[in-house]
Chain A
């Protein structure tokens, strides 16, 4: 479907490139989670895909055709649901949809039908005559989604689509994104909310300082760190616990407990047995793969970004 190959881009006057040798693939029917701290290059990548930036170096193709020529012929095959409320605040929900439908070439019955479908999908039917600036944050996000769907895009780019919405709207939007992928769309989804990406992404690309740090199926990425044990025991026993667990692998203090990276030969059952034998009472224990946030923080480090 979408193939980004060795894409590099440097803004005029910038000391470092915004994107450096970025390659990734988005497939039909899949959600690709695009993660990265501020300044990682996500927005630059999305600007390329939505046709707002010309390619300096590298290639982007959709179904084997260069993106630029494809966009010139069929600009509506790719749609963006941007971070901002990308619609006209003084126009009503229907007027906004009619405007963007007309701009994309829909007219007459075709436009009316498609607008009705998108209103239904985004559950905005009760708000058709409301001015966009008078909608709640959640409804605004749903309008953003409805506009993006107008032209039945094959590739959908969601840029932080759940910022500032209540949990109900967030759940609705996430379900909608999953449903779109299930219908055969290729979806690229960027968010700072790791649990969202973990919940809906099939594959993940982690980007930082313009470079791809890691990419692959979510299960593979998280499974790679599947030998970590987090443990906390009753009382002030962290010191004893550290000493007790050292033979099993590398131990680090973590809050009121410890984090143990098990050596390859060691078994978690043996660790639990050792703790029980030492008479320590386990208060909290977690074993298995790390979550996406841990992986993300480990890869991108903790230093603050601009």
Chain B
């Protein structure tokens, strides 16, 4: 009996082109588009910013600064005549202006800062990017100044020898893949796509009820728990296929499209499967509760997607959690999609094993249990 119910469910889904597109095509498109669009957020390509240099000083230190800057940031563009308007309009990202007297100011003991190297950036330049350039310029000029001051000492000192290695370092605490747009977007849109079973399950359930097929099944002796299980098991498979497909897109398709590839290096496979199963249970159970609640096709077609988009917006799917303010981050902690996403990020980025993801798995399974009880109660009330 269960096999017949499951087969019917999968056949009906396979004939529902919109449902199939929402389950498989939509998350895939999101992964590709968002990964490409957000690529620079995770790996800013500072060398690509177009800039020009206006060296009013022409001194030795100024020339050295320009040489070092170009070595790091690529060659400068030719300086346009009206460079200020070009920068204001954003056609030129920034101009490095070295004021007259800079070279002498660099070597001046107890400098007064009357002549500076100045960076004029376009108004729309990202804050992080602006800060990176400002700090880098400061560091370069400080280095030049140290070199110039030491050169004036009676005993010549080799600065390289004197300074040695700078006693500071920064690194990410990661055991596996480094964070990238793909590494964030694959789990995010996979979770989103998995929860889209709500619309498919609810739509078919309403149709089943309104056309009388459900009454026929009941009259053939099918119990409510069998009906619910007959819907649950096929969609767990559907979620599994979605997961395999989205991971494959991240691993193989994204590099072909010029993006970063998803890396499963060092991933704990048991934890990954358990996490996916927990997300799937939560998604399918929510779908069954919604399906038992709605009574019309219009309700099924709107309630499911609205719930999904809300949970995604609040849960860090659409906007990564780390860019949200703390209030929004606290709200996100109540979204099942966020539990799923954080669990997947734990596995894919933070090298978590089964024990490491138990809190998220527990929350998702608890949510699934509540939704299933609700689905069962609503189903009994409706029938």
Contact (Cβ within 8 A) A103 B12? no
The residue on B at minimum CB distance from A91 is B11
Interface stretch, picked from B205-213, B261-269, B341-349, is B205-213
Task: Give Cα A248–Cα B180 distance, bound, in whole angstroms.
Answer: 102
Which residues from chain B contact A172 at a C-beta distance below 8 Å? none
Q: How far is the CA of A109 from the CA of B212 in the complex (A)?
A: 28
Q: Mark A68-88, 1 if CB is under 8 A from B, else 0.
A: 000110011011101111111
B3 touches A75 (CB 8 A): no
User: With A51-B218, A100-B216, A147-B216 as given contacts, are A89 and B3 in contact (CB-CB < 8 Å)?
Assistant: no
Interface residues of A in 148-165 (CB under 8 A from B): 151
B7 interface contact, C-beta 8 A? yes
Closest to A101 in B: B4
Set A52, A85, A147: member contacting B211, Cβ < 8 A: A85
Query: A97-130 toward B: CB 8 Å interface, digit per residue (1/0)?
Result: 0111111110000000000000000000000000
Instruction: Determine whether A50 belongs to the interface, using a CB cutoff of 8 Å to chain B.
Output: yes
Does A95 belong to the interface (CB within 8 Å)?
A: yes
User: Given A86-B212, A86-B213, A91-B15, does the pair A75, B219 have CB atoms closer than 8 Å?
Assistant: yes
At the interface, yes or no: A90 with Cβ under 8 Å from chain B? Answer: yes
Contact A52/B383 with A80-B219, A90-B16 known, Cβ cut-off 8 Å: yes
User: Do residues B220 and A75 form an inter-chain contact, with CB atoms below 8 A?
Assistant: yes
- Given A84-B211, A88-B208, A89-B211; A102-B1 close (CB under 8 Å): yes
CB closest chain-B residue, reference A92: B11
Residues on the B chain within 8 Å of A79, using CB: 219
Decide if B215 touches A86 in the complex (CB within 8 Å): yes
Q: Report whether B212 and A103 are in contact in the complex, using a CB–CB cutoff of 8 Å.
A: no
| CB contact between B216 and one of A86, A91, A101 (< 8 Å): that residue | A86
Q: Are A51 and B208 in contact (CB under 8 A)?
A: no
Given that A76-B221, A103-B4, A103-B5 are known contacts, is A90 also in contact with B212, CB under 8 Å in the complex? no
- Residue in B1, B7, B15, B207 with the greatest tally of chain A CB atoms within 10 Å: B15
Asked if A99 and B212 make an inter-chain contact with CB atoms under 8 angstroms apart, the answer reads no
User: How far, in angstroms, from A89 to B383 measured CA to CA in the complex?
Assistant: 21
In Å, the complex CA distance between A102 and B15 comes to: 20
Contacts of A76 in B (CB 8 A): 220-221
**What size tier do the contact residues of chain A reach?**
20 to 34
B37 part of interface (Cβ distance < 8 Å):
no
Do residues A87 and B4 form an inter-chain contact, with CB atoms below 8 A? no
Distance, CA A87 to CA B214, complexed state (A): 9
- A51 to B211 alpha-carbon distance, docked (Å): 18
CA gap between A86 and B217 in the complex, in Å: 9
B199 to chain A, nearest CB (A): 15
Verify B212–A50 contact, CB threshold 8 A. Answer: no
The interface residues of chain A lying within 8 Å CB-to-CB of B7 are 98-99, 102
Q: Please indicate which of the listed interface residues B7, B215, B220, B383 has the most CB atoms of chain A within 10 Å of its own CB.
A: B220
Residues of B within 8 A of A101 (CB): 4
Are A103 and B222 closer than 8 Å at their CB atoms?
Answer: yes
Given that A50-B219, A75-B220 are known contacts, is A95 also in contact with B11, CB under 8 Å in the complex? Answer: yes
Q: Which residue of B lies closest to A86 (CB)?
A: B212
In the complex, B8 has a CB within 8 A of chain A: yes
State which residues 1-39 of B face A: CB under 8 Å: 1, 3-5, 7-8, 11-12, 15-16
A-side contacts of B11, CB under 8 Å: 88, 90-91, 95
Contact A51 B219 (CB under 8 A): yes
Query: Which residues of A lie under 8 Å from residue B1 when comparing CB positions?
Result: 102-105
Interface-central residue, B5, B7, B211, by most chain A CB under 10 Å: B211
Cα distance, A41 to B207, chains bound together (Å): 25
Residues A88 and B218 in contact, CB atoms below 8 Å apart: no
Give Cα A86 to B210, complex, Å.
Answer: 9
- Check B8–A99 contact: CB distance below 8 A: yes
Which residues in window 181-236 of A have CB below 8 A to B?
Answer: none
Report whether A71 and B212 are in contact in the complex, using a CB–CB cutoff of 8 Å.
Answer: no
- Alpha-carbon gap, A102 to B221, bound state (A): 12
Decide: A91 and B383 in contact? CB cutoff 8 A.
no
* Complex: A84 Cα to B220 Cα, angstroms: 16
Q: Chain A residues in contact with chain B, CB under 8 A?
A: 50-52, 71-72, 75-76, 78-80, 82-91, 95, 98-105, 131, 147, 151
Contacts beyond the supplied A79-B219, A88-B12: 8 A-B pairs with Cβ under 8 Å: A82-B212, A82-B215, A91-B8, A98-B4, A100-B220, A102-B1, A103-B1, A151-B220
Q: Which 9 pairs of residues, A with B, have the shortest CB-CB distance?
A: A102-B4, A75-B221, A84-B212, A86-B212, A90-B15, A50-B219, A86-B216, A99-B8, A82-B212
